[in-house]
């Protein structure tokens, strides 16, 4: 490698590898030598190991090490010749088939792949007549076969070296990638890479130097070699990310208002007049937040708690500290339905101290509480905007409308953001850019997040978990309904009519609004936003339910994201009152909607939703004196990702357990920037569940380093690596302070 930029970016791969560079770029986006060096093996083959067939993913190009158990040749009806192999992993069988016009070629291939031999195959597994099959895979010898023929000890050692297996694509089998990497590795002998890990940290933690680690991860001599290399790169990934996040935290260290507890203030009065007793966990959370609010360092806190754990009252008491301090409490929620729900809930919690819209019903001293959404009546919107502009101590509950250029935030003391995953980080920052200092930030989520994920996904925030549930919450049972079973489908609506006859309410949730449309902007299942003709939608579902004999005479309501705010409010009011006790809705009811009479939910095409979203939806029922019943309809085939997700959902109502399962079932998540879900662009081998200790250590090391060298002036290689690995979107996130 040559040139000043190569330690940071590497050389263009086409200068080093020629034609194969184009394949690596097209298939995997690998463009430079450094990209290739950091393209790590998916796994390793060791002597005697075979690939477990049940672990293969259908339709995905993969490398398979298998033993040939049987072989046959025949001529097809179309005149071609076919070689059919039966492969074994020691317990399971899979077919591999090859075609050729020439019998001579088939005979030659048969001689290359004989019964009893172990081969490395690269192909795309599929099901053919119920049997697992590889169609015309590429194949290559594996080292094992040369072991017995090894004439000396050195040859035996070479034959027993672990074989790296790389992700494969059609036309780019693992062995091609392996040879390409070998070319680049050999260059490191003449131009070694500088190490982004500071030497003192690397030695203190006992990690390999970078060039040694790259050699051992790609060309290990023993299992210990590649395990030590993977250990180093797991830490490196965590450390680079945590340094970037530590810089972000450093930038946010501006002055915040000191909000001390005011004896006899609204915080104390409202807390003592609540119609229920706070749980021990709520009191601990309130005390923790109170200590943070008394500091001039801005609170940056992620409060996570399962559905129904009581986060809203905790946030109210935090915002009242701002009101007691002569400032405002700002509460932002993702939908108008949720804003109305929170406005109503907060008003009830304030009790006699509530002054909705700034008006006191009793003429006494109280807490003004305002709403702000884009579709509010002009007069109410004007009152809210005036309150924000003048800095009147008050509570303001709003949607994205709070981010409008018309909104002037003059004295926010505490900003609460509900369901952070519905907002981008840019929007979070917009509420904190005020002339009166940086307000304290409380981010809330009812989607439980494993601690290790929180340290990465929300690395600029501290984490506080609200455990337990308020007393009186009842059990919600969950069952899966196969959409092909007419008896179960019919029984669903009979059960719904029974719930309604008992004075209860029933939700029916659809992923789309109209036939042929995509989801209502919320569904996050494995199919993403793909259009599917048979997808359940509000329009068709209402028509179908109106013709159900079991629901005869029952009024059916509708709620979705394309309705006006007034129509949404009316739909929820009619549902709550029982005028329309069955509500067909999209996921606009996902969070915050609190109807104590709701005891049953039917989720149609449930495989269209992610686990976290299903858990949120289920949290809308069983919130009163009665338990709940959740039925998830799906036609997902057994042993698919969708089916496994639904199975997990029916087995537990523990949101933290579901969060861990969800992380195992899908990719970890783009950890910075606007999306914060989906693909983990900067993580390759770090396991966000298994490597919590590594992430925690890297986080502490990063804090210490940035505290001592805030601009990374003494760590230029590390700074360059951060710039290279963090995408432009992620850089925007990190550079806003």
Return d(Cα 188, Cα 215) in angstroms, integer. Answer: 9
pLDDT tens digit sequence for 439-484: 999 988 877 676 666 666 666 678 888 887 666 667 889 999 999 8
Q: Which of the four pLDDT bands, split at 50, 70 and 90, describes residue 672?
A: very low
Dist CA 414 CA 458 (whole Å): 19
What's the pLDDT tens digit per position in 301-337?
889 887 778 889 999 999 999 999 999 999 998 888 7
* Domain 266-293+310-445 coded CATH 1.10.300.10: no
- CATH 3.40.50.300 in the chain: give the residue spans: 266-293+310-445, 476-652
| Mean pLDDT over the full length of the chain | 82
Q: When comparing pLDDT for 451 and 515, which is higher?
A: 515
Residues 6+ apart with CB under 8 A from 451: 463, 692
Looking at domain 476-652, its CATH superfamily turns out to be P-loop containing nucleotide triphosphate hydrolases (3.40.50.300)
Residues in a beta bridge with 68:
87
Q: Check whether 159 has a pLDDT greater than 90.
A: no
Residue 408: both structure tokens together: 């002037």
Residue span(s) of the chain under CATH 2.40.50.140 come to 43-165
Q: For position 585, what pLDDT does the model report?
A: 94
Are 512 and 536 in contact, with CB atoms under 8 Å apart? Answer: yes
Is residue 120 within 8 Å of residue 129, measured between CB atoms? no
Residue, of 269 and 2, whose pLDDT is higher: 269
Cα diameter, the chain: 99
Instruction: State the burial class of residue 109 (Cβ atoms within 10 Å of its Cβ: 0-12, 13-18, 19+).
Output: middle
Q: Is the pLDDT of residue 32 over 50?
A: yes
pLDDT at 551 over 90: yes
- pLDDT at residue 150, as a whole number: 38
**74-103 pLDDT per residue, tens:** 888 878 888 999 898 888 889 999 888 888
CATH topology of domain 43-165: OB fold (Dihydrolipoamide Acetyltransferase, E2P) (2.40.50)
So what's the pLDDT on residue 511?
92
Lowest mean pLDDT of 257-261, 490-494, 676-680, name the range: 676-680
State residue 518's pLDDT score.
57
Residue 191's SS3 state is coil
Mean pLDDT along residues 724-735? 59
The answer, as to whether pTM is greater than 0.85, is no
For β-strands 138-141 and 118-123, DSSP reports them as antiparallel
């Amino acid at each position: 490698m040559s040139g000043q930029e190569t330690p940071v970016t590497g050389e263009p791969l086409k200068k080093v590898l020629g034609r194969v560079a184009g394949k690596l770029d097209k298939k995997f986006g690998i463009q430079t030598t450094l990209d290739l060096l950091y393209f790590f093996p998916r796994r390793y083959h060791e002597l005697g190991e075979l690939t477990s067939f049940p672990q293969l993913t259908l339709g995905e190009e993969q490398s398979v090490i298998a033993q040939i158990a049987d072989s046959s040749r025949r001529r097809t009806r179309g005149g071609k010749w076919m070689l059919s192999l039966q492969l074994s992993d020691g317990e399971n069988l899979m077919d591999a088939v090859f075609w050729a016009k020439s019998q001579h070629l088939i005979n030659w291939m048969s001689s290359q792949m004989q019964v009893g031999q172990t081969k490395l195959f690269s192909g795309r597994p599929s099901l053919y007549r119920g049997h697992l099959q590889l169609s015309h895979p590429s194949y290559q010898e594996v080292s094992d076969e040369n072991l017995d023929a090894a004439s000396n000890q050195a040859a035996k050692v070479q034959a027993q070296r672990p074989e790296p297996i790389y992700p494969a694509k059609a036309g780019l089998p693992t062995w091609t990638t392996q040879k390409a990497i070998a070319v680049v590795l050999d260059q490191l002998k003449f131009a070694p890479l500088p190490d982004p890990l500071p030497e003192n940290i690397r030695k203190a933690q006992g990690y390999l130097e970078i060039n040694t680690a790259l050699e051992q991860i790609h060309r290990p001599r023993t299992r210990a070699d590649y395990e030590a290399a993977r250990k180093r790169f797991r830490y490196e990934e965590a450390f680079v990310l945590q340094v970037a996040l530590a810089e972000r935290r450093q930038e946010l260290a501006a002055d915040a208002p000191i909000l001390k507890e005011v004896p006899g203030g609204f915080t104390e009065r409202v807390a003592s007049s609540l119609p229920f007793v706070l749980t021990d966990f709520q009191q601990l959370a309130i005390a923790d937040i109170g200590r943070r609010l008394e500091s001039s360092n801005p609170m940056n806190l992620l409060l996570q708690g399962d559905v129904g754990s009581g986060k809203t009252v905790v946030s109210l008491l935090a915002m009242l500290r701002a009101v007691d301090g002569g400032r405002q409490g700002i509460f932002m929620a993702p939908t108008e339905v949720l804003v109305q729900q929170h406005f109503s809930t907060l008003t009830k919690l304030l009790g006699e101290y509530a002054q909705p819209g700034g008006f006191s019903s009793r003429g006494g001293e109280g807490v003004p509480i305002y709403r702000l959404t884009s579709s509010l009546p002009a007069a109410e919107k004007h009152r809210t905007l005036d309150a924000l502009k003048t800095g009147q101590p008050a509570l303001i509950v709003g949607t994205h409308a709070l981010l409008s250029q018309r909104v002037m935030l003059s004295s926010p003391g505490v900003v609460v953001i509900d369901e952070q995953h519905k907002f981008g980080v840019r929007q979070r920052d917009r509420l904190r850019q005020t002339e009166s200092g940086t307000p304290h930030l409380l981010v809330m989520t009812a989607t439980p997040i494993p601690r290790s994920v929180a340290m990465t996904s929300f690395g600029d925030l501290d984490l506080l978990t609200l455990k337990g549930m308020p007393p009186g919450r009842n059990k919600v049972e969950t069952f899966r309904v196969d959409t092909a079973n007419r008896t179960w489908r019919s029984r669903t609506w009979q059960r719904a009519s029974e719930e309604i006859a008992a004075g209860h309410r029933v939700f029916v949730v659809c992923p789309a609004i109209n036939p042929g449309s995509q989801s209502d902007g919320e569904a996050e299942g494995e199919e993403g936003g793909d259009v599917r003709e048979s997808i359940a939608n509000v329009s068709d579902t209402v028509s179908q339910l109106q013709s159900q004999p079991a629901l005869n005479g029952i009024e059916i309501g509708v709620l979705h994201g394309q309705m006006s705010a007034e129509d949404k409010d009316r739909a929820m009011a009619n549902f709550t009152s029982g005028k329309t006790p069955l509500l067909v809705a999209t996921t606009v009811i996902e969070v915050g909607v609190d109807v104590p009479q709701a005891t049953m939910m039917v989720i149609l095409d449930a495989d269209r939703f992610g686990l976290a979203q299903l858990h949120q939806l289920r949290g809308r029922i069983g919130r009163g004196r009665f338990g709940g019943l959740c039925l998830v309809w799906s036609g997902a085939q057994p042993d698919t990702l969708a089916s496994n997700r639904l199975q997990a959902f029916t087995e537990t109502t523990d949101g933290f357990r579901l969060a861990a399962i969800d992380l195992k079932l899908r990719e970890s998540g783009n950890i910075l920037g606007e999306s914060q879900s989906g693909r983990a662009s900067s993580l390759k081998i770090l396991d966000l569940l298994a490597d919590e200790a590594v992430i925690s250590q890297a986080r502490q090391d990063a804090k210490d380093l940035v505290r001592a060298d805030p601009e990374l002036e003494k760590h230029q290689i590390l700074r360059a690596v951060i710039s290279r690995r963090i995408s432009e979107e992620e850089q925007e996130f990190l550079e806003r302070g």
